[in-house]
Amino acid sequence: MTRVAVVGSVNLDLVVSVDRLPAPGETVLGHDVEYRPGGKGANQAVAATRYGADVGLFAAIGTDGFGDQLRTALAGHGLPTSFITVDETRPSGVALIQVDSRGENSITVAPGANAGLSDDDLAALPAYLEGADWLLVQLEVPLATALGAARVAHRAGVPVATNASPLPSGPTPELTSLLALTDLLIVNETEAQALIGANADKVASPGADWVGTARALLALGPRTAVVTLGPEGAVAVTADAVAHLPAFPVEAVDTTGAGDAFCGALIVELADGAALAEALRRACAAGALATTRVGAQDAAPTRSEVDAMLALDTKASTD
């Protein structure tokens, strides 16, 4: 079975549905708050698990009731909780999420225990990486911790995938080092442009197209660069290959976690030997499916659900 290590965040999402997102300084009335397990690390770990991988999540929670709720939710998805650190000094991470009638969202994260995740909490990572196919990290935990995990994986010969989100406010030596150790970089349009702008002296002009932008990202270190484009699909490039996939048309109800579903499916597909274009196609399908359901973790599709969607898409394209 495909084996993936994830080092990342665990949050409780406080979600409020609104007719429209408020402008700065504006108050809008929403519906009742919902409490859902989230966090980029947890979401991507659950997505990879639901897609069929054996996943170990290295993360941190607080001693509060939210932490208990998060641990129970992870276990319910089949994830081991033995790699989850309990931080005695910080509350569990919380994300404040507003979702409008079109499924678009606005998110603010209070990191809590995620901010305390350190190399000391990764003591079991080297052993877990023995025989692992990928390490997947994001940036909702300290950058130094993500970098430390990448160094452990690099020494073990395990490829590193970095979902560089959220980006730090400016270039840092740690981010530069992490990108240099990254085999697969996954970013959205805003993050891609910020990375290139922050390192303009190191990359060629990306031009006006997203393929050019993705190619420019390769100059920062990754062997493969993927840029997700929301309703426009995604592009992926290596030094000698390009894949550009359009989005799958769906009736979106909640885009929260769609990018995490994309990441989880992409990693498992690549680990299973799929070619880049096919892995990207299936990841786009997974992300699209996730938008048709409410929530982040529960919305992540299984491989069989992606198979079914692609079968319908193939049939439609041949009719």
Domain boundaries, the chain: 3-21+32-318
CB of 218 closer than 8 Å to CB of 59: no
Among 97-106, 268-277, 309-318, the least confident range: 309-318
Catalytic residue among 121, 260, 298, 313: 260
pLDDT, one tens digit per residue, over 247-301 is 899 998 888 889 999 999 999 999 999 999 999 999 999 999 999 998 889 999 9
DSSP string, 54-120: EEEEEEEEESSHHHHHHHHHHHHTT---TTEEEESSSPPEEEEEEE-TTS-EEEEEE-GGGGG--GG
The domain covering 3-21+32-318 belongs, at the CATH homologous superfamily level, to Ribokinase (3.40.1190.20)
Q: For the chain, what percent of residues have pLDDT higher than 90?
A: 83
pLDDT at 134 over 70: yes
Instruction: Decide: 229 and 247 in contact? Cβ < 8 Å.
Output: yes
| Residue 19 a catalytic site member | no
pLDDT at 208: 45
Q: Dump pLDDT digits (tens) for 72-94.
A: 999 999 999 999 999 999 999 99
Which of 30-34, 100-104, 311-315 has the largest mean confidence?
Answer: 30-34
pLDDT tens digits for 168-212? 988 899 999 999 999 999 999 999 999 988 555 555 544 448 999
